[in-house]
Structures are given as C-alpha cells and as structure tokens.
Amino acid sequence: MKRLTFVLILFVFCAFSSLCAQNSVDIDGRLQPLLDSFLAECDKYGIDYHDKLFQLKKIDISNTLPLEEGNTVLGMVTRDANNNIEEILINWAAMLDPEILKVVAFHEFAHHFLDYKHTCENCNEIMAVTNDSYFAIANDWDNQVAQLFTTSPAFIKKQAQTPIAAVSLQ
Ligand SMILES: [Zn+2]
C-alpha cells in the first residue's frame, strides 16, 4: 500500500512537472515590468492572453538585431514552422532610453497579443513601422495605449463576438 502511494505520488509529480515545463516562458527581467503593465491593459479591455503567453518560448533582449544606418531593427517577433509567433525580441539599444523601450516593447507585444499588423509606415502611433518621435508618443502615452487597445484586431473581434455569445445564452 505504501509503495503504491509512493508510485502514485511520483506519477502525479512527474505529470505536474512536465506540465510546468510546457508552461514556462523565458522572460528577461528587464522586460517583465513592461509585460506586466501590458497584460494589465489586456485585463482592462477583457482580452485573454493566457494561451498566447504560453505559446511563446521567450521574451528577450537581443544583442544581434541590426543596428546600422538605414537598417535598424529595434524589436521583432520570430515565428515557428506553423507561422505562430514563438519569440519576442527587443534590441538592447532600445534600453538606452526607458521611453523608447516602452514604445518598442508595447509595439512587439501588440503584434502578438492583439493580432496587430502595422497601422502606417511612419506616423506617431505605437504600431507604425517607424516612429519619427518616440518622445511624442511617450508624451501622449495614456491616449496612445487606449487607441492601441480599442482599435486592435483582438479587441474588435471580441466586441463582434460578445453579442452573439449573449444571444446564445438565452
Ligand atoms: Zn512591427
């Protein structure tokens, strides 16, 4: 009896630890506060992020993204063979200024968690391909974040689904 209990406990422990292994995302500590504040906004707008978070392998600061005149990549997402995003990478150079880091991180997070493509080639929005002025965005941060979320594909999709769900409950 004792042996059976031990085996059972071991089995449960192994099952649990393998679940834990699948559910780990490697997040650079310097990006964690920004991720936390982004996910708090997801909560505020009712956007579920659990599956997308654990789909990721890592959210990391990279030392190898291009940083040349005419070829600068401050952040990017990488995809697996099924075209699902698996890594969010932020160029170390974005850390030179906390406001730039915030804009770049929210931009990349929004690609993944809010299903965003770019909103314009060059304008002062978080989802622009390039920004003339990170300062302008940072100075208008609360509005920028509200716009980012309320006009996001994930939010619009959720809004469109909500009435249908309410009807089907009746
Ligand atoms: Zn982008």
Confidence (pLDDT) at 14: 45
Flag whether 82 is in a domain.
Answer: yes
Report how far ligand 1's centroid is from the alpha carbon of 109 (Å).
9
Q: What's the pTM value of the predicted model, to 2 decimals?
A: 0.82
Confidence (pLDDT) at 110: 98
In 3D, which of 46, 159, 154 has the Cα closest to residue 109?
A: 154
Confidence (pLDDT) at 7: 54
State the residue range of the domain holding 130: 24-160
Distance CA 102, CA 106 (A): 6
Distance CA 49, CA 39 (A): 7
Residues with Cβ within 8 Å of 59's Cβ and at least 6 positions away in sequence, in order, are: 25, 26, 27, 28, 31, 35, 87, 88, 90
Report how far ligand 1's centroid is from the alpha carbon of 43 (Å).
22
Give the CA diameter of the chain.
Answer: 71
Q: Splitting the chain (170 residues) into consecutive groups of 10 residues, what average pLDDT does each group show?
A: 56 48 84 98 97 97 95 96 96 97 98 97 94 94 98 95 60
Q: Report the DSSP pairing between strands 85-91 and 75-79.
A: antiparallel
Confidence (pLDDT) at 19: 46
Flag whether 118 is in a domain.
Answer: yes
Report how far ligand 1's centroid is from the alpha carbon of 88 (Å).
11
Report how far ligand 1's centroid is from the alpha carbon of 127 (Å).
6
Report how far ligand 1's centroid is from the alpha carbon of 62 (Å).
16
Q: Measured at the alpha carbon of residue 90, what is the angle toward residues 93 and 151, in degrees to the nearest 5?
A: 120
Total domain count, the chain: 1
Flag whether 104 is in a domain.
Answer: yes
Flag whether 37 is in a domain.
Answer: yes
Flag whether 167 is in a domain.
Answer: no
Flag whether 100 is in a domain.
Answer: yes
Flag whether 8 is in a domain.
Answer: no
Flag whether 11 is in a domain.
Answer: no
Helices then strands, counting H and E runs in the chain, come out as: 7, 8
Confidence (pLDDT) at 161: 86
Three-class SS state of 22:
helix
Report how far ligand 1's centroid is from the alpha carbon of 116 (Å).
8
Three-class SS state of 90:
strand
DSSP 102: H
Confidence (pLDDT) at 162: 74
Report how far ligand 1's centroid is from the alpha carbon of 13 (Å).
41
